[in-house]
Amino acid sequence: MHIMIIGAAGMIGRGLADRLAQAGEIGGEPITKFTLVDVVPPAAPDTAGAEVECITADLSEAEAAPRLIKGRPDTIFHLAAIVSSDAEANFEKGYRINLDGTRHLFEAIRLEGEISAYRPRVVFTSSLAVFGQPLPDIIPDDFVLAPLSSYGTQKAICELLLADYSRRGFLDGVALRLPTICVRPGKPNKAASGFYSSIIREPLAGQEAVLPVARDLRHWFASPRSAVGALIHAGSIDLASLGARRSLNLPGVSATVGDQIEALRRAAGDAAVDLIRQEEDPAVLEIVSSWPRAFTAERASGLGFTAESSMDEIIRVHIEDERGEAAE
Catalytic residues: 151
Taking contact as CB under 8 A, which single stretch among the options 60-68, 163-171, 256-264, 281-289 is the one that binds a copy of itself?
A: 163-171
Which of 71/243 has CB closer to a copy of itself?
243
| Interface with a copy of itself, residue 163, by CB under 8 A | yes
Which of 40/144 has CB closer to a copy of itself?
144
Taking contact as CB under 8 A, which single stretch among the options 74-82, 164-172, 196-204, 280-288 is the one that binds a copy of itself?
A: 164-172
Question: Helix (H, G, I), strand (E, B), or coil: what is residue 213?
Answer: coil
| Interface with a copy of itself, residue 58, by CB under 8 A | no
Which of 93/110 has CB closer to a copy of itself?
110
The least CB distance from residue 303 to a copy of itself, in Å, is 17
Query: How would you classify the pairing of strands 218-222 and 253-256?
Result: antiparallel
Q: Which residues pair with 172 in a beta bridge?
A: 121
| Interface with a copy of itself, residue 142, by CB under 8 A | yes
Taking contact as CB under 8 A, which single stretch among the options 78-86, 144-152, 213-221, 301-309 is the one that binds a copy of itself?
A: 144-152
Complete DSSP assignment for 158-202: HHHHHHHHHHTTS-EEEEEEEPEETTPPSS--SSTTHHHHHHHHH
- Among 16, 14, 8, which Cα is nearest to 59's? 8
Say if residues 218 and 254 touch (Cβ distance below 8 Å). Answer: yes
Binds a copy of itself by CB under 8 A, chosen from 47, 98, 126, 150: 150
| Interface with a copy of itself, residue 83, by CB under 8 A | no
- Among 202, 226, 231, which Cα is nearest to 323's? 202
Binds a copy of itself by CB under 8 A, chosen from 167, 189, 207, 266: 167
Q: Give the other-Cβ count within 10 Å of 194's Cβ.
A: 18
The least CB distance from residue 153 to a copy of itself, in Å, is 4
Q: Sign of dihedral through CA atoms 241, 244, 246, 252?
A: negative
| Interface with a copy of itself, residue 266, by CB under 8 A | no
Q: What angle do CA 149, 218, 141 make, to 5 degrees?
A: 65
Question: Which residues from 220-249 bind a copy of itself, rule CB under 8 A?
Answer: 244-245
Which of 26/129 has CB closer to a copy of itself?
129
End-to-end CA distance of the chain: 36
Binds a copy of itself by CB under 8 A, chosen from 13, 42, 147, 252: 147
Binds a copy of itself by CB under 8 A, chosen from 46, 115, 168, 270: 168
| Interface with a copy of itself, residue 89, by CB under 8 A | no
Taking contact as CB under 8 A, which single stretch among the options 40-48, 142-150, 185-193, 258-266 is the one that binds a copy of itself?
A: 142-150
As a whole number of angstroms, the distance between CA 158 and CA 156 comes to: 5
The least CB distance from residue 119 to a copy of itself, in Å, is 15
- Length of the chain equals 328
DSSP-assigned letter for residue 242: G
Residue type, 76: I
> Buried b vs exposed e over 38-50: b needs ≥16 C-beta within 10 Å?
bbeebeebebeeb
As a whole number of angstroms, the distance between CA 131 and CA 304 comes to: 23
Which of 147/194 has CB closer to a copy of itself?
147
As a whole number of angstroms, the distance between CA 33 and CA 202 comes to: 38
Taking contact as CB under 8 A, which single stretch among the options 61-69, 162-170, 186-194, 264-272 is the one that binds a copy of itself?
A: 162-170
Residue type, 248: L
Contact positions toward a copy of itself, by CB under 8 A?
A: 91, 110, 132, 141-148, 150, 153, 156-157, 160-161, 163-164, 167-168, 244-245
